[in-house]
């Protein structure tokens, strides 16, 4: 089985999504049922991860049984057999996590959710009272058996990810379109990549958020109270595009990610300069485009930052390694650097910590329960991070 992405302009929007198919290309029955009933609850990227985990479970049962039998097991209600496969799959996940030193707990939880949900729905559809009670008893057994049955999670070390000042200084030089140190060849790439870098660093946008921006995402109006033009960017999904040709679809992380962020005139003018002079006419409505005239992809963003990282001086790389135990820059590093700077500015302006924390939640699109604002607030006093900000 594999997970494929359907993209066809002749199909309705609801049919353009990820789908799980078998070896001969036919959609899996119970996976299709589960996706039809639950797929709308997840964003495309999350749905793809869940389907991938379920795909792995199908392949695992085929490997053990010697035949493609999972759909038949579920249809026939052989949940005793299904439990045996679940337990064996858990052991496989746990062993893989130990060998690779990576956390694969979500794969297990996605498969367990898939199984429980199907059992629950089958129990509700049964008209035989004995069968109904038996199914519900098995569901309770699953809950009790796996309540504390979780793959081992690797402890995550909390660390400050704000970039050192010397690294920020070099990043400005490397992304300057007129600089001899700029590693990108074409002029259009230089201006586009600088616009991306400034949106990540100054606004703290997530990688996917920039890729989802529409052509008219930047807005402005005259503020009569202050006597100057006010500019902002609408961080939201692209309402003009029904079909996105990219394999990895950019999407906003949560509903709170939909927000309006004030934008400085220099950054707004830079983005406008890129649009008017280098983006050119495109067949899509996304703000940032590739050299082939397609919406910029996640893979392209990663490559852009890889090239920038490879161009850093030895001094900057040493400080980056000493501070962050890394030799590469990512858009998320820029986001957290922005969070640290914003926190320091708010505190320096006399705002108390609690109000500053709430302001950061709105600015960066963090949920109400997220600990991210407090986690990065502890680094706001780092003077080195502000030496080159202006």
| 87 and 26 within one domain | yes
Instruction: Catalogue the E-assigned strands of the chain.
Output: 2-5, 18-21, 218-223, 228-235, 259-262
Is 160 a domain residue?
no
In a domain, 261, yes or no: yes
11, pLDDT greater than 50: no
Same domain, 197 and 343: yes
216 and 127, same structural domain? Answer: no
Same domain flag for 122 and 174: no
Q: Give the pLDDT band (50/70/90) at residue 4.
A: very low
Assess whether 132 and 240 both reside in one domain. no
Over residues 220-268, the pLDDT tens digits come to 998 888 888 899 999 998 888 767 777 677 778 777 889 999 999 999 9
Q: Are 241 and 252 in contact (CB under 8 A)?
A: no
Domain that holds residue 89: 2-146
12 part of a folded domain: yes
3-state SS, residue 66: coil
pTM over 0.85: no
Is the residue at 282 inside a domain? yes
Record the tokens describing residue 53, joined without a space. Answer: 């985990």
CATH number where 267 lies: 1.10.443.10
On whether residue 157 sits in a domain, the answer given is no
Do 265 and 183 have their domain in common? yes
Q: What is the pLDDT of residues 140-186, one digit of tens each?
A: 666 665 555 555 555 555 555 678 888 999 999 999 999 999 999 99
Residues 183 and 84 in one domain: no
Most confident stretch, 6-15, 113-122, 235-244, 312-321: 312-321
Tell me whether residue 131 is exposed, middle or buried, using C-beta atoms within 10 angstroms of its C-beta: 0 to 12, 13 to 18, 19 or more.
Answer: middle
Residue 278 sits in the same domain as residue 369: yes
Quote the tokens at residue 295: 């919406």
For residue 279, being part of any structural domain is answered with yes
Q: What is the pLDDT of residues 192-224, one digit of tens each?
A: 999 999 999 999 999 999 999 999 999 999 888
User: What are 150-155's contacts with CB under 8 Å, separation 24+?
Assistant: 150/105, 150/108, 150/109, 151/90, 151/93, 151/94, 151/97, 151/103, 151/104, 151/105, 151/108, 152/94, 152/97, 152/98, 152/105, 153/103, 153/105, 154/97, 154/101, 154/102, 154/103
If one counts the domains in the chain, the total is: 2
If asked whether residues 377 and 250 sit together in one domain, one would say yes
Residue at 303 is within a domain: yes
């Amino acid at each position: 089985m594999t997970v494929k992405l359907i993209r066809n302009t002749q199909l309705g929007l609801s049919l353009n999504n990820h789908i799980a198919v078998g070896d001969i290309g036919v959609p899996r029955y119970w996976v299709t049922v589960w996706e039809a009933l639950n797929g709308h609850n997840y964003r495309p990227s999350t749905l793809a991860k869940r389907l991938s985990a379920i795909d792995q479970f199908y392949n695992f049962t085929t490997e053990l049984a010697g035949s493609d039998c999972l759909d038949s097991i579920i249809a026939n209600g052989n949940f005793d057999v299904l439990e045996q496969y679940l337990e064996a799959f858990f052991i496989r996940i746990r062993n893989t996590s130990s060998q690779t030193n990576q956390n694969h707990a979500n794969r297990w939880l996605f498969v367990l959710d898939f199984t429980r949900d199907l059992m629950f729905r089958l129990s509700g559809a049964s008209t035989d009272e004995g069968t109904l009670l038996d199914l519900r008893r098995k569901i309770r057994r699953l809950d009790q058996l796996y309540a504390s049955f979780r793959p081992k999670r690797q402890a995550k070390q909390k660390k400050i990810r704000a970039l050192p000042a010397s690294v920020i200084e070099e990043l400005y030089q490397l992304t300057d379109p007129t600089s001899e140190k700029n590693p990108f060849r074409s002029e259009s790439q230089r201006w586009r990549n600088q616009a991306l870098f400034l949106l990540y660093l100054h606004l703290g946008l997530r990688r996917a958020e920039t890729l989802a921006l529409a052509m008219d995402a930047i807005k402005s109006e005259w503020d009569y109270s202050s006597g100057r033009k006010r500019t902002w960017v609408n961080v939201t999904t692209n309402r003009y595009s029904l079909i996105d040709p990219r394999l990895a679809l950019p999407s906003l992380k949560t509903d709170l990610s939909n927000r309006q962020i004030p934008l400085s005139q220099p950054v707004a003018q830079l983005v406008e300069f890129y649009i008017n002079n280098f983006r050119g006419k495109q067949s899509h409505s996304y703000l940032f485009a590739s050299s082939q005239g397609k919406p910029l992809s996640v893979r392209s963003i990663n490559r852009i930052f890889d090239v920038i990282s490879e161009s850093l001086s030895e001094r900057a790389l040493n400080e980056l390694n000493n501070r962050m135990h890394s030799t590469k820059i990512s858009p998320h590093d820029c986001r957290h650097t922005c969070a640290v700077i914003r926190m320091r500015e708010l505190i320096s302006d006399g705002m108390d910590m609690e109000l500053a924390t709430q302001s950061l939640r709105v600015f960066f699109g963090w949920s109400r329960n997220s600990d991210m604002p407090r986690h990065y607030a502890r680094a706001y006093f780092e003077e080195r991070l502000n030496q080159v900000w202006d």
